[in-house]
Structure 1
């Protein structure tokens, strides 16, 4: 392999929601950088927007090849067998098609009213208890968890259990390898039990549809069925649950943009897109393997070599965005890659967008003067996790 003298990556643990400071330098001088993640073999890191889109979207780069290799990764574990992220088209297309109809723009719009009701109920509970409130525990987590549970057909009362399992699956160092393995097994067993229930009592929720696809149309193996259920459950709430407080925190840090959004709530959809571009959700990407020699900005990736694409860096590329370090809620430049790109573009992107829009409208509309509580310990950040975000966020608001 040509990957020699790799740099440890992530290069440093950036505080809070700060982006890796070396990305700007790499985009300019070393767009194809040799790196070594916490686990697995060395890889190339690409940081430019166009290179990132090529690695994520070009069929010459494979996710399936990673299953036979010591894949570069930030986490100890490699996920559950049968995970949709481990496949290339056409196998990936077959799996994705089973659940894609649940996340179309039309279907998501049908869920918007329910998301508004859930949001209003959560805010009612917050105002009933009085300030300060923990925006994470009292709003950001229960909103997407309730929506995805109802969509998939998972008992909402089990959310404390699968939240722990989800944290373990996304852990980098927060849990020991033994704990990760145990919790992953528990989550798989939990999903398998729900599948067994759907076989006894068929339903029209998403899990019931998936079971029917397995049993009647033979479109899923049993392993794929369980893994798909786990993936939808975890991914269906994790991004939104993390980004709601991340977005609110970022708006607190940019008071002029917060004032602009409060003055014009119709900016919310565009604000969500700009915040998805601006806020770095994770530090390391998922490796793809080159199936043949591919020329990128910084050189040639040889067949068999893994590449990690930094979405966060791509979203700050000065070749694509003017003043990318500035939060501009009216920005209408190139589409961001916050939800990925290509075949593995986030399946639930439309759902996440809708929930984030509803969350911002509800919080800014119903909690006038929303701001940090001012206790001195308002913000507690996640540690040892693959997804950046707040573990606790204490807020207050003006009395109505």
Structure 2
């Protein structure tokens, strides 16, 4: 199935997922880099896989030709490459610093940033909503949370795009150079925060590291890398994908503008409907296993299809329809079990504030939906641009 991740898939992966679910729950596929993987497509199998302790996140257990990103040790010692007990230790440390109270306290700053960004656009002006709003908003938020100086935040957009959505003309060494640049920057940022701590998450994690030595230096740097990367890129695409979904469903858009009490359930539905992260982080079976009737050998690569599971008609009524009042809505966009994303609360806050601000301002697509361009990435679904006219 090397043709699986073609341009038609990038534009709309859901018909492909529907076909795969109808054909079976597990599929042996070829990834764009030439490596092989098992793609799990049905909700029950994906949910079970997310909580299956036989499926390891540690790439040291890979034996099936997995390539993925080549990260230096100081960036690879993170929750996306760890199993218990190290995963449990790090997650508990993050939970003690990344508290709901800390996240909720960001609300006024997120709201102020959203208003400021939209106020910079004149009524009737047509802009790229990604560049003008969806990208700079989470840059400010994660920058404030972690403690990245404002003048240094925009560079992360370039680095993460190089890694997650490479351009066709990108040089073969671009991804490696982006990783090296991020690594050097984070080492410098940690050194500066250690010398001059502030009231931010990085300074607090440094204090945890230096006081009790419960974090290695590599784990500290890698945690910051994960927060800046995963905590930023996914939100950019969630805002962009969510607004595109609303603007192409005018009845739902009008209903939400008329009644913002629907916003919490609407954000959950937008998160389910067009989830940016197509698959959970790759897994490697520690022993031979059977998933959806398929025998999978130890060390082979398993991709748990979150986006496909979120459109499984056995769980969601009319899964390809946007229903802002959907209840229940047990989507798997933030994972499940011990690997559920610790950043889900922040992601929901940013998306809610962004959508609310855009609803109050009002906007419409400035191009036909079929003319929108999607990032050429099989891992992350996001728009290259989203041209809109703001009221």
TM over 0.5: yes
Relative distance call for 1:375 and 1:62 in structure 2 (3 A) is closer
Q: Which residue of 1 aligns with 2:223?
A: 228
- Please say if 1:397 is aligned against 2:390: yes
Aligned counterpart for 2:327 among listed residues 332, 353, 369: 332
Query: Is the CA contact 1:76–1:177 (under 8 Å) kept in the aligned structure 2?
Result: no
RMSD value, Cα: 2.5
Distance 1:228 1:76 in 2: 16
Counterparts of 1:57-68 in structure 2 under 5 Å? 57-66=51-60, 68=62
Query: Is the CA contact 2:80–2:281 (under 8 Å) kept in the aligned structure 1?
Result: no
Aligned counterpart for 2:294 among listed residues 296, 299, 303: 299
Secondary structure at 1:96's aligned position in 2?
Answer: helix
- Please say if 1:242 is aligned against 2:230: no
Query: Is the CA contact 2:164–2:377 (under 8 Å) kept in the aligned structure 1?
Result: no
- Please say if 1:258 is aligned against 2:249: no
Distance 2:282 2:344 in 1: 21
Distance 2:14 2:3 in 1: 10
Aligned counterpart for 2:137 among listed residues 143, 148, 151: 143
> Where do 5+ consecutive residues of structure 2 fail to align?
none
Distance 1:172 1:71 in 2: 22
The size of the alignment, in residue pairs, is: 388
Aligned counterpart for 1:161 among listed residues 155, 160, 172: 155
Residue 110 of structure 1 and its aligned partner are, at CA, apart by: 1.9
Query: Is the CA contact 1:10–1:284 (under 8 Å) kept in the aligned structure 2?
Result: no
Query: Is the CA contact 2:266–2:325 (under 8 Å) kept in the aligned structure 1?
Result: yes
Q: Which residue of 2 aligns with 1:3?
A: none
Query: Is the CA contact 2:165–2:375 (under 8 Å) kept in the aligned structure 1?
Result: no
Q: Which residue of 2 aligns with 1:189?
A: 184
Secondary structure at 1:322's aligned position in 2?
Answer: coil
Query: Is the CA contact 1:104–1:350 (under 8 Å) kept in the aligned structure 2?
Result: no
Q: Which moved more, 1:352-361 or 1:279-288?
A: 279-288
> Where do 5+ consecutive residues of structure 1 fail to align?
1-6
- Please say if 1:341 is aligned against 2:329: no
Counterparts of 1:112-131 in structure 2 under 5 Å? 112-127=107-122, 131=125
Write out the 4+ residue segments of structure 1 that deviate beyond 6 Å after TM superposition. Answer: 375-378
Q: Which residue of 2 aligns with 1:47?
A: 41
Relative distance call for 1:104 and 1:148 in structure 2 (3 A) is same
Query: Is the CA contact 1:242–1:389 (under 8 Å) kept in the aligned structure 2?
Result: yes
Distance 1:210 1:165 in 2: 23
Residue 285 of structure 1 and its aligned partner are, at CA, apart by: 4.5
Relative distance call for 1:16 and 1:304 in structure 2 (3 A) is closer
Distance 2:64 2:165 in 1: 19
Distance 1:346 1:17 in 2: 26
Distance 1:288 1:322 in 2: 29
Distance 1:113 1:333 in 2: 30
Query: Is the CA contact 1:42–1:72 (under 8 Å) kept in the aligned structure 2?
Result: yes
- Please say if 1:290 is aligned against 2:285: yes
Relative distance call for 1:378 and 1:363 in structure 2 (3 A) is farther
Query: Deviations along 1:253-310, whole A, 9 cap, x unmatched?
Result: 1111111111111111111111111104244543211223434332343433331111
Relative distance call for 1:71 and 1:270 in structure 2 (3 A) is farther
Relative distance call for 1:77 and 1:20 in structure 2 (3 A) is farther
Q: Which residue of 1 aligns with 2:268?
A: 273
Residue 70 of structure 1 and its aligned partner are, at CA, apart by: 5.3
Aligned counterpart for 1:357 among listed residues 352, 358, 372: 352
Query: Is the CA contact 1:372–1:378 (under 8 Å) kept in the aligned structure 2?
Result: no
Distance 2:14 2:368 in 1: 29
Q: Which moved more, 1:132-141 or 1:184-193?
A: 132-141
